[in-house]
Each structure stands twice: as structure tokens, then as C-alpha cells.
């Protein structure tokens, strides 16, 4: 059921079952972070491999000490600046945090999501939620309750409807090595914004999102079912697909070609934030068009453009 009633979500969570929750990034598939049963269900429902750790969602910075320990000063600085918001911190875990959540690591990923409905829910329950994105492993992340419904209509009793996700891209993940912040995943907060807070360039270790311990494996993710390509010269590239049903995923300018079936323009004014917000919904629509091929264009490699390119590269990776 799609509902706005948090009491329904609360009831399901207390019974160790899962609910979909809205956040500002993408919809999450949430369960009680202190219930092994609920955590296992998340992995099973998503068909997510157990080596891929989950993020713990807490209601405010004051709950952080329940989850993590030995927290670097810079982590507090970043949390103060960006929480509630699309920043995930990877910190030393407290011993009671399940090894299932952390995939056996000594670190745990944690954030305070910025969505009124989910924050209200977190304030109603006396446990944190653990929630990866509410999509089957590898497929396009959901940015509306309807997207989640399309994936998990039968399996989920409650999909909490908080409207369209405001940011539309996953959180930026920052870890710490020798107390120095390292960017683990490009996300909704541009690396440049993080650097402004820490006052220096950030080191990057954007290892494989899906197999943090196994670089190079399973990088395909955020992927449509339709054959999808990424190019920096769209007008030239489409010439190779003459006679095919083509859909395009474009930044700001349409392509003049009457044979194109659908063109998704993510921001006609060239605003990267608007493009980020529209990205996954456009991918979902293109994927439902029964096209032969989706061709995406590369974004300018700056600010959120880096994150969008990262997602598009994974979406178009050929196995």
C-alpha cells in the first residue's frame, strides 16, 4: 500500500518487516537496524550480495554516538554542516552494530536523512533504520513512491509516500583514514562543497560502489533493462543506430532528428541540480518505452556533473 501515514510504517517496522521510506536522495528500503531478521530481509528482497554494506539512518546528530565511536573532529564538522542531508559518514562502528549491516567491516556508514516524513518516523520509533535504496540490486534507484511500487508491489506492505525526491541522487559518502576525510562515493553533495568545509582538497577512493572490498567487480549499477550507451558526441553516435528505436538522455539541448522516439532533457536551463533531480525518473521512463537503445550524453565533469557521469558510466557498463 502507498500511504502517507507514519503509524502504518511504524507498526510494520516494529514487527521486523520492511517499509519503503522517502528521503531527499532516493527512496530507501528500511528495516529496524537492531533486528537481524529485518536486516536479512533487506538483502533478500533486493537480492543484494552480503558483501555490500548498508547505511544506518538516524534521527539527529545526537544519536551518532549510539552507532559510532572514535569520531574525528572533521566528521563532526561535516555532520554539523550537512545533516540532515545527503552526506553519509563512514566511521568506526560500535560493537553492537550488526556485522550484516557493515558486511563484516569495523566501520559503519551513517547519516541523518532530510525528509520531514522520515524524520517524523525516526522520532516515533526507538531504533535507527537501516536502508539501502529501494530497488532490486543493480537497477535504477527509485525517486518516487510509484517507482518503488513498480519494483516491490507484492513484497512491501507499506510504501511511505513523501513525493518526488528533492535531490534525486544517492548521498555522498565520506570515510576517514588517519583522521583524514576521503571521498568514497560521488553523490548529491559535490566534492567541491565538502572541500569548502574542510578547507583543503579531498582525497578520493571511489572504489566499487557494489563491492567495496573487490575493486573492479560488479561495477554495473543504476542500469536500465534496455541496452544503454554513454557518449560525448551524441549526433555522431546515433548514426550507428540507424533504423533502431532510439531514446536519448540529454543535459540541456534537444537533438534535431525526427527518428528519435523520446528525448529526455534533464535541465533546459543547464542547471546541474535540476538535472540530478530528474535523472532517475527520466531513466525509468525511457526504460518503459520498449526502445532498442538508450543513448546518454556525458555531462560537464564538474560539481554534480561528476556524480551524474559516475552514475551514467555504471548504468552503461557492459559486462
Catalog residues that contact Mg ion under the rule CB under 5 A.
Answer: 133
In the stretch 162-201, what mask flags binding to ligand AMP with x, by CB under 6 A? Answer: --------x--x-x--------xx----------------
For ligand AMP, which is the closer residue by CB, 140 or 145?
140
Q: Which of 212, 224, 247, 305 binds ligand AMP (CB under 6 A)?
A: 212
Q: Which of 21, 31, 43, 209 binds ligand AMP (CB under 6 A)?
A: 209
* Chosen from Mg ion, ligand AMP, none, partner binding at 55 (C-beta under 5 to 8 Å by type): ligand AMP
- Cα–Cα distance measured from residue 196 to residue 180, given in angstroms and rounded to the nearest whole number: 15
Q: Least distance from C-beta 45 to Mg ion, angstroms?
A: 13
Question: Which neighbouring-strand residues pair with 176?
Answer: 181
Hunting for cell 528500503 — which residue is that? 29
Q: Does 107 bind ligand AMP (CB under 6 A)?
A: yes
Segment near ligand AMP (CB under 6 A); pick from 2-10, 48-56, 113-121, 247-255:
48-56
Task: Find the shortest distance in angstroms from Cβ 304 to Mg ion.
Answer: 18
- Which of 55, 100, 121, 156 binds ligand AMP (CB under 6 A)? It is 55
DSSP string, the chain: -EE--HHHHHHHHHTT--EEE--SSS-EEEEETT-HHHHHHHHHHHT--TTSPPEEE-SSGGGHHHHEES--HHHHHHHHHH-SSSEEEEEEEPTTS-HHHHTT-SEEEEE----HHHHHHHHHSSS-EE--BSS-TTBPPP-SHHHHHHHHTTT-SEEE---S-SS-SPPEEEEEETTEEEEEE--SS-HHHHHHHHTSPPEE----SS-TTSTTS----SB-SS-EEEES-HHHHGGGGTTS-EEEEESS-----TT-SEEEES-TT--HHHHHHHHHHHHHHHHTT--SEEEEEPPPSSTHHHHHHHHHHHHT---
CB of 183 to ligand AMP, least distance (A): 11
Q: Is 53 in the site for ligand AMP (CB under 6 A)?
A: yes
Size of site (CB under 6 A) for ligand AMP: 18
* Residue 102 in the binding site for ligand AMP (CB under 6 A): yes
Q: Which is nearer to Mg ion, 133 or 307 (CB)?
A: 133
Among 41, 105, 245, 252, binds ligand AMP (CB under 6 A): 105
Choice between 132 and 181, CB closer to ligand AMP: 132
- 13, 90, 174, 272: residue in contact with ligand AMP (rule CB under 6 A): 90
Cell of 7: 503509524
Residues at the contact surface with ligand AMP, assessed by CB under 6 A: 52-53, 55, 90, 102, 105, 107-109, 132-133, 170, 173, 175, 184-185, 209, 212
Amino acid at each position: 500500500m502507498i500511504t502517507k501515514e507514519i503509524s502504518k510504517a511504524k507498526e510494520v517496522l516494529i514487527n521486523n518487516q520492511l517499509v519503503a521510506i522517502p528521503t531527499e536522495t532516493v527512496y530507501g528500503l528500511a528495516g529496524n537496524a537492531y533486528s537481524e531478521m529485518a536486516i536479512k530481509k533487506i538483502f533478500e528482497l533486493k537480492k543484494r550480495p552480503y558483501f555490500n554494506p548498508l547505511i544506518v539512518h538516524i534521527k539527529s546528530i545526537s544519536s551518532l554516538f549510539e552507532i559510532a565511536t572514535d569520531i574525528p573532529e572533521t566528521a563532526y564538522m561535516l555532520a554539523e554542516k550537512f545533516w540532515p542531508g545527503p552526506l553519509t559518514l563512514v566511521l568506526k562502528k560500535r560493537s553492537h552494530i550488526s556485522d550484516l549491516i557493515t558486511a563484516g567491516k569495523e566501520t559503519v556508514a551513517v547519516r541523518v536523512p532530510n525528509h520531514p516524513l522520515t524524520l517524523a518516523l525516526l522520532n516515533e520509533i526507538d531504533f535507527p533504520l537501516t536502508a539501502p535504496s529501494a530497488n532490486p540490486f543493480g537497477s535504477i534507484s527509485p525517486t518516487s513512491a510509484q517507482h518503488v511500487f513498480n519494483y516491490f508491489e507484492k513484497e512491501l506492505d507499506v510504501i511511505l509516500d513523501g513525493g518526488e525526491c528533492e535531490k534525486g541522487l544517492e548521498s555522498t559518502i565520506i570515510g576517514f583514514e588517519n583522521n583524514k576525510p576521503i571521498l568514497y562515493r560521488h553523490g548529491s553533495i559535490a566534492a567541491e562543497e565538502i572541500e569548502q568545509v574542510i578547507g583543503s582538497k579531498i582525497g578520493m577512493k571511489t572504489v566499487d560502489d557494489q563491492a567495496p572490498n573487490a575493486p573492479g567487480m560488479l561495477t554495473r549499477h543504476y542500469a536500465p533493462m534496455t541496452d544503454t550507451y554513454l557518449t560525448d558526441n551524441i549526433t555522431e553516435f546515433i548514426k550507428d543506430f540507424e533504423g533502431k528505436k532510439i531514446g536519448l538522455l540529454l543535459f540541456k539541448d534537444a537533438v534535431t532528428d525526427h527518428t528519435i522516439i523520446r528525448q529526455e532533457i534533464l535541465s533546459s536551463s543547464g542547471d546541474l541540480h535540476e538535472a540530478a533531480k530528474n535523472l532517475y525518473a527520466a531513466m525509468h521512463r525511457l526504460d518503459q518505452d520498449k526502445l532498442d537503445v538508450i543513448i546518454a550524453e556525458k555531462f560537464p565533469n564538474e560539481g554534480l556533473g561528476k556524480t551524474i557521469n559516475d552514475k551514467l558510466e555504471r548504468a552503461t557498463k557492459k559486462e
